[in-house]
C-alpha cells in the first residue's frame, strides 16, 4: 500500500530541505514525487520532525565476538529482557542485546541501516547467520584484512593488482561490503603475545610494515572501486600519546587522493590521546580536527564515550589484554588462524574517572571542532564506548551547550580544567545532526538510495513527535533526548515497522554485499595460487570457505566499480 | 552403475568436524569414504542400518505406525496442552533445526536445553566467571610448541585431532613433530598418554589441587607439600617451567576435568592458570567439544536468547539459571509435564530418576536413530541424517562454522529435523489460535 506522510517538518539536507513543511510520498518501498492520497495510508506528521532513517556506519551487532560478549555476561542481560510480542520475538538487552532485540531497538530509535564493522573472514558464515536473525534493519559486514597472511605476502612484494583480485574474491565469497583493518600487523604479532609500536614497525616474520599494509589496501580499495573507503582502527589505539600514530596514519595516504575520502578512521576518540601515561593524558582533538579541517582524504566516526557499564570487543587482541590488565575484569581472547584476532572485556566508564571523563570530552570535541559534519559521523563503536541505545544522549550533547555543561558538572574535577570542551560554544543545527547520523554515513558507504528523502530513495524514514519550530534544541535538549529514543513512526521499505516504541510489523531487512567483477580466468588463476598455501595456513578446505548467496535471508548484491 | 565422488565433505560425528572427506557414492549408496577416522567412516557406511522411517504414536492398544501429519498433529497437541514442556537435545542436528527449536520453545513457553547441560556446561559457566584465552585450531597448527591434553583422550574420542590440528599437523611455523612438545595429564595411562612426550598421572578428583599448585609455582610462591595430587614437587615445577618457557602453549581439556569433582571450579582454576600464563608467554585453552554440533547449539542459543543452554521461556522472555532451568534439575523436581527430544537419547543417558520422569509424561522424540528414547516415546518421528541426507550448518569445537552437505537422498518420506520442527511449530500456532 502507498504511504503519504503529510505536513511534517522535514529535514533532508541532501536535497536542500531544512525544516520545511511538506509531504513525503511512498510507493513500493521507494520515495516518489506523489501518490494518490485516496489510495494511500496517510500519516499526519503535523508538528513532527521528519528525516531519513538513521544509518550507523560502525556498530558491533553480529558475529563471533559479539556473541562471545553475550555469552560472557549473563549478568548483563538478567535485568533487561524483551517479552515476546505480537510481531516480535523475545530476547535480552544489556550492552550486547540478542539479535532480535538489536533489530527492534534500532528500529524504535528511527535507525534503519547498520553496519557490522569487523567480521573474522573464516567465521563470516556465523556473522551472516546472526544478521539473518536481526530483523527490520538493512545491514552489511566489513571483512577484516589488516592481519591477513595472504594480504601481507601480496603487499610485501608490492603485488597490488594480485592483492586486489584476492580481496575482491574474498569480499564476494564471504558476502562482505568493505575492507576493515584493525591494528594492522599488531594483531598478527599478538599471535605471539606481542604488538607493533607504530606504522613503521615491521610485523614479526612477515617483513611488511603497517604503513605498507594501510597504503596497499587503500590502493586495492581504489582499484576495486568498493563503495566504502578502507575502514581503519589505528595502531596504538587506546594508548596515551597515540594521536601521533593517528596523524602519521592519515599522512601516509595523503598522496593517494585529493578529493574523496580513501580512509575512514573509526572510533577516532580512542586514537586521539595526548600525554605520556594515564596520569597526564589529555585530548588531542585540536590536532586531529585541525588536520581533518585541512584535508579531504579522511573521514571519521566519533566512538563517543557513554558513562555506563558496557562490554568492549574488538579484533585488536593486544588492546583487549591491556584493558583486562587495567580493569582486572574477565577477559576473552579469540585468535583466528591466518587472519586476525579478537578480545572481549566488560568495562564501566565512570564519570569520576579522570581518564574516562577525558575520553568523554575527546569524542565531543572532535565532533564540534571539525567544521564539516560530512567528515565526522556519530558512533559509540557500540558496545565499546557505550551501547547504541544511548545515541540520543550524544545527540543532545551535540545540539546543546547546556546539555554538555550539565554533564560536565558530574565528571572528575580535573577534567573541565584540562579539556577544551568548556570553551566550545558550537551547537549543531538539526540539519547538521541529520548529516552526521544519516547523510554522511550513507555517502561514505556509497549508499545512494539512503540518507535522503528525494524521489528514488529507499523509503526508510524516521518521524519524531517534536516540533523544532517550537522546541529550542539548545535549552530544551531533554525533550529531544527523550524524543530521539522513541520514534513516533519508523518506516522501513515503506512499511511502518515501529510506532511510539511498539514494533508494528514483521519485517526483514536486506543484507548488502559487494559482488566481484573478477573474470573467470582471473578467478581460477587466483584460486590455483591460493590452493598452494591454503592447506598450510588453514584447517578448513578452500572449497568450504565461501558462503552461498542462498545463506542470506534477503540478499542485495551491489556491483563494485571495478577498475581491475 | 553410476559412481559419484564428493570432495570436501564435512564429517557429522565429533567436534573436530573434519571437512576433507571424500565420499564415493554408487547408485545412491555410500560405498566408501576416504580420509575419515573409524568413527566417521562407520557412521557414513552404517548410518542406515537399524533405523525406522515410519512415525509411531502410542495408541490405546500399543504403538501404531502413522503418517507424518498425524504424528506432527499428536506432537503439537501434547506441546500445546503442556504447562511446562522441556525441549532437549540439539547437539547432533543442524543450526537451522536449533533455530526452529528455539522459536518453538518460545511459542509454547517451555524450557529449551542442549546436551552442554550434561557435558561442557560447567566449562561455559566457568567462562562466564573468568573469561577464556582461546583461538581457532589453525592457530595451534601454525604456532603451538607446547600441547597439553588434560582429562581428554583424543586418540579414542576425537581421532584426527592430533594429526589435523596438533602434533601431527604441518603448520607455517611448526613443521615437524620435534617442533612440538606434547603433555598428557590424566588419571590413567590412556592411548593418548602413550604418544605424549610427558605424562603426568594425577590422582582421581584432585585436578583442582594440581592446578592450584601450578598457579602457586607460576607466581613464584612456594609449594609447601612434597606431593600434590600424586605429583612430586619437582614434577610440578618441571611442568610449570615447561609452560612458562614455551613460545605458544595450549591446554585442551575434556570431561575428565569438567565432570570430575569440582566441575566448574576445576575449569575456573584452569582458565585462571592459562590467563595468568599470558603474563609470561602466549597461552590458550579450549574444551574438547564432543558432538559434532554441540558448539553450534551454544552459539545459536546465545545469539537468539543471550544464554548458551538451559533457557526458560515460561516467563515470555529468556531466563537462564543452570541448576534451576537445566533439564535434569527440572525433571528431578518433577516440574516438567511433557518433553520433546531432538537428536539425543536422554532416556538412555540421564540419571535413572530423571529418565523415569521423562517416560512417565508424554514424550516426543525426533531422531534418525532407533534410540531408547525413540522406543519409549509416545510420538516418535524419524528424521533423516543431517550431513548425509540433508544439508545444514554446524560449528566446530573452535566455533568455526562449516556447511554440512547432502550427498544421498533420504528414504522416501523421511524429512529433515528442520522440516519436522517447522511442521510442529506451524501446527502449534494453528492450535493456539
Cβ neighbours for A250, distance < 8 A, ≥ 6 positions apart? A263, A265, A291, A295, A297, A298
User: Which of B262, B287, B312 is a domain's end point?
Assistant: B287
Cell numbers of A35, please?
A: 501518490
Residue A380 and residue A394 in contact, taking contact as beta carbons nearer than 8 Å: yes
Residue A498 lies in a domain: yes
Contacting residues for A304 by C-beta, under 8 A, at least 6 apart:
A269, A360, A363, A364, A367, A378, A379, A380, A385, A386, A394
Query: Do B307 and B349 have their domain in common?
Result: yes
Task: Look at B131 and A99 and tell me if their CB atoms are within 8 Å.
Answer: no
Shared-domain flag, residues B138 and B277 = yes
pTM above 0.95, yes or no: yes
Shared domain check, B126 and B108: no
Q: Which residue has the cell 560536565?
A: A408
Strands (E) in A151-208, as ranges, are: 178-182
CATH number, domain of B346, equals: 3.40.50.740
The conformational region for residue B151 under phi > 0 = left, psi -120 to 50 = alpha, else beta, is: left
| Whole-number Å distance between alpha carbons of B401 and A540 | 10
Residue A108 lies in a domain: no
Let me know: does A47 contact A490? Beta carbons within 8 Å.
no
The verdict on residue B60 lying in a domain is yes
CB B186, CB B154: distance < 8 Å: no
Four-CA torsion A327, A331, A335, A339, nearest 10 degrees: -50
Q: What is the pLDDT along chain A (564 residues), one digit of tens a residue?
A: 899 999 999 999 999 999 999 999 999 999 999 999 999 999 999 999 999 999 999 999 999 999 999 999 999 999 999 999 999 999 999 999 999 999 999 999 999 999 999 999 999 999 999 999 999 999 999 999 999 999 999 999 999 999 999 999 999 999 999 999 999 999 999 999 999 999 999 999 999 999 999 999 999 999 999 999 999 999 999 999 999 999 999 999 999 987 899 999 999 999 999 999 999 999 999 999 999 999 999 999 999 999 999 999 999 999 999 999 999 999 999 999 999 999 999 999 999 999 999 999 999 999 999 999 999 999 999 999 999 999 999 999 999 999 999 999 999 999 999 999 999 999 999 999 999 999 999 999 999 999 999 999 999 999 999 999 999 999 999 999 999 999 999 999 999 999 999 999 999 999 999 998 889 999 999 999 999 899 999 999 999 999 999 999 999 999 888 767
The reply to whether residue A81 touches residue B132, judged by beta carbons under 8 angstroms, is no
Kindly identify which residue of chain B lies nearest to residue A72, measuring between CA atoms.
Answer: B128
- Start-to-end CA span in chain A (Å): 43
Domain range holding B282?
A: 121-287
Q: How far is CA B45 from CA B24, B25, B41, B417, in A?
A: 11, 11, 6, 21
Question: Which residue in B135, B306, B400 is closest to A540 by CB distance?
Answer: B400
- Domain count of the fold of chain B: 2
Q: Which residue has 610494515 as its cell numbers? A: A209
Residues B134 and B281 in one domain: yes
B161 and B136 assigned to the same domain: yes
Residue A181 included in any domain: no
- Helix pair angle (B68-81, B417-432), 10° resolution: 50
Domain interval for residue A464: 2-52+453-503
DSSP letter assigned to residue A438: I
Contact: B127, A71; criterion CB under 8 Å: yes
Q: How far is CA A369 from CA A349, A399, A423, A426, A428, in A?
A: 23, 14, 11, 8, 11
In a domain, B25, yes or no: no
Q: Does residue A488 lie in a domain region?
A: yes
Does B401 sit within 8 Å of A129, measured CB to CB? Answer: yes
Residue B245 maps to a domain = yes
Q: Both B78 and B148 in a single domain?
A: no
CB contacts, 8 Å: B304 with chain A: 89, 91, 98-100, 133
| Phi, psi (deg, nearest 5) at residue A463 | -125, 125
> Residue A96's closest CA among B317, B95, B302, B315?
B302
CA distance B291 to A425: 61
Picking from B287, B317, B352, the residue at the C-terminal end of a domain is: B287
- A536 to chain B, closest Cα gap in Å: 6
Are B374 and B322 in a shared domain? Answer: yes
| Residue B87, C-alpha cell as written in the block | 525441549
CB pairs < 8 Å spanning A and B: 182
Q: Are B300 and B277 members of one domain?
A: no
Q: What is the DSSP letter of A389?
A: G
Q: What does the angle CA A486 – CA A492 – CA A498 come to, to the nearest 5 degrees?
A: 30
CATH number for B261:
3.40.228.10
**Are A335 and B8 an interchain contact pair (Cβ–Cβ within 8 Å)?**
no
Q: B10-66: per-residue pLDDT in tens?
A: 999 999 999 999 999 999 999 999 999 999 999 999 999 989 899 999 988 889 999
Q: Of B287, B302, B320, which residue constitutes the final position of a domain?
A: B287
In a domain, B19, yes or no: no
Answer whether residue B6 is part of any domain: no
Rounded Cα–Cα distance for residues A520 and A313 (Å): 38
How far apart CA A38 and CA B88 sit, in angstroms, is 53
Q: Which residues of A468-504 are buried (b: 16+ CB within 10 A; e: fewer)?
A: beeeebeeebeebbebbbbbbbbbbbbbbbbbeeebb
For residue A49, the cross-strand partners are A9, A464
Return the closest-CA partner of residue A147 out of A120, A114, A111, A116: A120
Angle at Cα B82 formed by Cα B76 and Cα B85, nearest 5°?
A: 90
**Residue B297 main-chain phi, psi, to 5 deg:** -60, -45
Closest to A400 (Cα-Cα) out of A376, A421, A372, A375: A421
Residues B377 and B422 in one domain: yes
Name the minimum distance, in Å, from the CA of B249 to any CA of chain A. Answer: 10
A44 in any annotated domain = yes
Nearest chain A alpha carbon to B109: A84
Backbone angles phi, psi at B397, to 5 degrees: -60, -25
What is the residue whose three cell numbers read 599437523? B169
Quick count: other Cβ atoms within 10 Å of Cβ B67? 11
131-160 in A: which are within 8 Å (CB) of B? 133, 149
A465, part of any domain: yes
Query: CATH number, domain at A45?
Result: 2.30.40.10
Amino acid at each position: 500500500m502507498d504511504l503519504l506522510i503529510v505536513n511534517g517538518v522535514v529535514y533532508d539536507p541532501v536535497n536542500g530541505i531544512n525544516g520545511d513543511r511538506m509531504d513525503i510520498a511512498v510507493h513500493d518501498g521507494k520515495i516518489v514525487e506523489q501518490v494518490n492520497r485516496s489510495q494511500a495510508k496517510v500519516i499526519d506528521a503535523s508538528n513532527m520532525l521528519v528525516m531519513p532513517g538513521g544509518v550507523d556506519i560502525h556498530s558491533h551487532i553480529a558475529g563471533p565476538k559479539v556473541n562471545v560478549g553475550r555469552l560472557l555476561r549473563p549478568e548483563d542481560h538478567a535485568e533487561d529482557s524483551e517479552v515476546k510480542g505480537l510481531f516480535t520475538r523475545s530476547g535480552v538487552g544489556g550492552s550486547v542485546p540478542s539479535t532480535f532485540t538489536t533489530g527492534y531497538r534500532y528500529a524504535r530509535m528511527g535507525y534503519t541501516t547498520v553496519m557490522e564493522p569487523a567480521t573474522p573472514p573464516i567465521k563470516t558464515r556465523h556473522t551472516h547467520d546472526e544478521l539473518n536473525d536481526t530483523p527490520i534493519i538493512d545491514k552489511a559486514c566489513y571483512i577484516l584484512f589488516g592481519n591477513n597472511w595472504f594480504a601481507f605476502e601480496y603487499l610485501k612484494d608490492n603485488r597490488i593488482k594480485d592483492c586486489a583480485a584476492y580481496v575482491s574474491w574474498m569480499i564476494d565469497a564471504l558476502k562482505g561490503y568493505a575492507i576493515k583493518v584493525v591494528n594492522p600487523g599488531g594483531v598478527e604479532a599478538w599471535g605471539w603475545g606481542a604488538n607493533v609500536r607504530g606504522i613503521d614497525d615491521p610485523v614479526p616474520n612477515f617483513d611488511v610494515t603497517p604503513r605498507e599494509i594501510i597504503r596497499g589496501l587503500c590502493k586495492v580499495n581504489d582499484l576495486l572501486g568498493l563503495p566504502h573507503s578502507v575502514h581503519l582502527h589505528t595502531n596504538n589505539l587506546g594508548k596515551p600519546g597515540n594521536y601521533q600514530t593517528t596523524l602519521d596514519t592519515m599522512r601516509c595516504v595523503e598522496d593517494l587522493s585529493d578529493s574523496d575520502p580513501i580512509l575512514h578512521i573509526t572510533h577516532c576518540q580512542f586514537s586521539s590521546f595526548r600525554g605520556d601515561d594515564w596520569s597526564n593524558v589529555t585530548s588531542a582533538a585540536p590536532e586531529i580536527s585541525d588536520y581533518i579541517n585541512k584535508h579531504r582524504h579522511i573521514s571519521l566516526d566519533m566512538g563517543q564515550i557513554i558513562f555506563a557499564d558496557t562490554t568492549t570487543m574488538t579484533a585488536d587482541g593486544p588492546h583487549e589484554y591491556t584493558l583486562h590488565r587495567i580493569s582486572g575484569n574477565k577477559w576473552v581472547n579469540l585468535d583466528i588462524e591466518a587472519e586476525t584476532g579478537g578480545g572481549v572485556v566488560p568495562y564501566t566508564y565512570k564519570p569520576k574517572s579522570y581518564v574516562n571523563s577525558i575520553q568523554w570530552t575527546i569524542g565531543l570535541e572532535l565532533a564540534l571542532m571539525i567544521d564539516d559534519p560530512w567528515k565526522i559521523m556519530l558512533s559509540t563503536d557500540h558496545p565499546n564506548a557505550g551501547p547504541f541505545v544511548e545515541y540520543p544522549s550524544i545527540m543532545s550533547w551535540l545540539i546543546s551547550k547546556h546539555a554538555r555543561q550539565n554533564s560536565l558538572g558530574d565528571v572528575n574535577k580535573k577534567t573541565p580544567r584540562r579539556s577544551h570542551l568548556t570553551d566550545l560554544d558550537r551547537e549543531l543545527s538539526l540539519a547538521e545532526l541529520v548529516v552526521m547520523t544519516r547523510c554522511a554515513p550513507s555517502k561514505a558507504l556509497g549508499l545512494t538510495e539512503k540518507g535522503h528523502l528525494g524521489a528514488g530513495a529507499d523509503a526508510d524514514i524516521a518521524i519524531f513527535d517534536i516540533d523544532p519550530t517550537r522546541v529550542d534544541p539548545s535549552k530544551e535538549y531533554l525533550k529531544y533526548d527523550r524524543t530521539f529514543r522513541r520514534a513516533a513512526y519508523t518506516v522501513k521499505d515503506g512499511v511502518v515497522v515501529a510506532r511510539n516504541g511498539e514494533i508494528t510489523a514483521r519485517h526483514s531487512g536486506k543484507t548488502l554485499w559487494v559482488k566481484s567483477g573478477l573474470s573467470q580466468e582471473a578467478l581460477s588463476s587466483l584460486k590455483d595460487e591460493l590452493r598452494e598455501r591454503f592447506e598450510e595456513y588453514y584447517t578448513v578446505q578452500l572449497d568450504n570457505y565461501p558462503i552461498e548467496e542462498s545463506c542470506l535471508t534477503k540478499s542485495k548484491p551491489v556491483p563494485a566499480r571495478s577498475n581491475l | 552403475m553410476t559412481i559419484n565422488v564428493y570432495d570436501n565433505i564435512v564429517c557429522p560425528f565429533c567436534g573436530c568436524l573434519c571437512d576433507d572427506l571424500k565420499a564415493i557414492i554408487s547408485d545412491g549408496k555410500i560405498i566408501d569414504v576416504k580420509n575419515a577416522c573409524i568413527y566417521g567412516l562407520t557412521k557414513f557406511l552404517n548410518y542406515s542400518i537399524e533405523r525406522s522411517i515410519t512415525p509411531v504414536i502410542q495408541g490405546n492398544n500399543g504403538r501404531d505406525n502413522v503418517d507424518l501429519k498425524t504424528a506432527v498433529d499428536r506432537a503439537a497437541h501434547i506441546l500445546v496442552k503442556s504447562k511446562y514442556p522441556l525441549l532437549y537435545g540439539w547437539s547432533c542436528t543442524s543450526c537451522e533445526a536449533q533455530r526452529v527449536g528455539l522459536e518453538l520453545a518460545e511459542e509454547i513457553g517451555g524450557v529449551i536445553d542442549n546436551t552442554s547441560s550434561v557435558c561442557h556446561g560447567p566449562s561455559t559457566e566457568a567462562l562466564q566467571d573468568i573469561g577464556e584465552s582461546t583461538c581457532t585450531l589453525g592457530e595451534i597448527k601454525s604456532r603451538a610448541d607446547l600441547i597439553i591434553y588434560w582429562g581428554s583422550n583424543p586418540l579414542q574420542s576425537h581421532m584426527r585431532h592430533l594429526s589435523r590440528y596438533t602434533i601431527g599437523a604441518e603448520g607455517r611455523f611448526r613443521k615437524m613433530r620435534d617442533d612440538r612438545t606434547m603433555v598428557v595429564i590424566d588419571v590413567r595411562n590412556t592411548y593418548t598418554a602413550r604418544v605424549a612426550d610427558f605424562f603426568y598421572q594425577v590422582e582421581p578428583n584432585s585436578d583442582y589441587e594440581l592446578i592450584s599448585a601450578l598457579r602457586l609455582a607460576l607466581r613464584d610462591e612456594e609449594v609447601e607439600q612434597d606431593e600434590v595430587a600424586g605429583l612430586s614437587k619437582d614434577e610440578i615445577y618441571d611442568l610449570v617451567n615447561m609452560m612458562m618457557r614455551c613460545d605458544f602453549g595450549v591446554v585442551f581439556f575434556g570431561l575428565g576435568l569438567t565432570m570430575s569433582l569440582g566441575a566448574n571450579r576445576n575449569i575456573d582454576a584452569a582458565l585462571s592458570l592459562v590467563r595468568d600464563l599470558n603474563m609470561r608467554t602466549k597461552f590458550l585453552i579450549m574444551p574438547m567439544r564432543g558432538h559434532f554440533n554441540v558448539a553450534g547449539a551454544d552459539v545459536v542459543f546465545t545469539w537468539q536468547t543471550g544464554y548458551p543452554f538451559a533457557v526458560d521461556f515460561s516467563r515470555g522472555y529468556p531466563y537462564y539459571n543452570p541448576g534451576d532451568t537445566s533439564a535434569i534439575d527440572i525433571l528431578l523436581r518433577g516440574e516438567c509435564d511433557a518433553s520433546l527430544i531432538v537428536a539425543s537419547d536422554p532416556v538412555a543417558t540421564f540419571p535413572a530418576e530423571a529418565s523415569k520422569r521423562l517416560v512417565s509424561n508424554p514424550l516426543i522424540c525426533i531422531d534418525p536413530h532407533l534410540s531408547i528414547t525413540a522406543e519409549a516415546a509416545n510420538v516418535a518421528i524419524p528424521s533423516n541424517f543431517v550431513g548425509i541426507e540433508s544439508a545444514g550448518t554446524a560449528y566446530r569445537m573452535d566455533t568455526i562454522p562449516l556447511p554440512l552437505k547432502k550427498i544421498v537422498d533420504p528414504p522416501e518420506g523421511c524429512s529433515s529435523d528442520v522440516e519436522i520442527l517447522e511442521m510442529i511449530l506451524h501446527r502449534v500456532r494453528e492450535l493456539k489460535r
